[in-house]
Amino acid sequence: IRIPGERIGGEMSPADRYAYNLAMIIDDQDMRVTRREEFMCSQAIRTGQVTVVGEDYPTQTINYGRDAALTIALTSTARWGETGVDPYDDIEEWCQLLVDTDGFTAREVLLGGGAAGFLKRSARFMEMLDNRRQATGSMELGVVSTGAENKYSTVLGTIGELTFVQYSQPYTVGGVKNNFWPTYGVGIFDPFQFQGMFGYGAILDNQSLRSVERFPDMWAERNPSRTVVQTQSAPLPIVPEPNASLFALVR
C-alpha cells in the first residue's frame, strides 16, 4: 500500500514497506496503551479510584481513599453559569479546601472546555490572570479549542502559584463518543505532592524476563504467510497522596 506522501506507483522496496508498516503498527499499539494510561490517570483525579479491566482478568476497582469532601458536584443555583455565581470564588474556596483537608497546596487547575468558558467570564479572574510569565508552550485568552489530535491542552495563564490549563481528549468505544475529561469538570491538585506514578504487572512471557512498561512482540506464521504483532502492558496508577487532588463537576 502506498504510504502518505509517496509518489504514485511507489518508490519503496517491499522490504522497506514491510519495515514501515511494522513500525506504524507498533507505534499505534504503544499509543493505545498510552491513552489507556491517561484515561486511568483521569479516573484517579476525578473519582479517587481506578477501575482495572483486562482480558481474562476480573474487573476490579482500586480505591485510593481520597477524602469524600474532595469530590464535588455543584447543583441548582450554585452551578457555574447561574446568575450571581462567580466561578473564581469557588476556585479560591477549593484551593483552601485542599489545605484544610490534608495540608496540600493547590498548584494546577485543570478545566474542561465548558468550565474554562465560564471561568473566563469572571471579571475578577480575567483581571488577575497573568499570561506573560510562560517560558514554554503557549497561553490563550481568546477562543480556545482543545481535543484535536496533538492539541489536547493549552495553558490559559497563571495567578500566583496557580497554573490554569484547559484540557480535552475525546475517544470512541463501540461507536459511542466520550472524553477523558468532562467539559464541565474542574480538577485542582498539587502535582508535586500528589506523587502519582505507574506500576506495571509482570508479563508472563519467557522472552520478557525483565521489568518493562511495554513488551512488544512479533512472530511469523505460514500458509498463509503473515506477521503477528502485539504489545502487552499491565499499567496501574499508584497514588500515594490522593488528598492532594480535588475534582468538581460545576454544571
pLDDT digits (tens, 9 = 90+) for 97-113: 999 999 999 999 999 99
The arithmetic mean of pLDDT across residues 27-40, rounded, is 94
pLDDT, position 38: 94
Q: What SS3 state is found at 35?
A: helix
| pLDDT value of residue 147 | 52
Q: What is the mean pLDDT of residues 117-130?
A: 94
- Tell me how far apart the alpha carbons of residues 170 and 152 are, in angstroms, rounded to a whole number: 9
220-237 pLDDT, tens digit each: 999 999 999 999 999 999
What's the confidence (pLDDT) of residue 45?
Answer: 95
Average pLDDT, stretch 158-171? 93
Q: Which CATH number describes the domain made up of 14-249?
A: 3.30.1930.10
Q: In angstroms, rounded to a whole number, what is the distance separating the alpha carbons of residues 138 and 154?
A: 7
- Alpha carbon 127 to its chain centroid, in Å, reads 29
Look up cell 465548558; give the residue: 114
- pLDDT exceeds cutoff 90 at 218: yes
Cell matching residue 198:
505507574
Give the HSE-up count for residue 70: Cα atoms under 13 Å, Cβ half-sphere.
30
pLDDT interval class at 186 (50, 70, 90): very high
Check residues 16 and 96 and name the one with the higher pLDDT: 96
Where residue 152 falls among pLDDT bands split at 50, 70, 90?
confident
Please, which residues have CB within 8 angstroms of residue 63's CB and are 6 or more apart in sequence? 48, 49
Question: In the chain, what are the helix, strand and coil shares in percent, each to the nearest 5?
Answer: 30, 30, 40
Whole-number average pLDDT of the chain: 90
b/e for 177-209, b at 16 or more Cβ within 10 A?
Answer: eebbbbbbbbbbbbeebbebeeeeeebeeeeee
The whole-number pLDDT of residue 132 equals 64
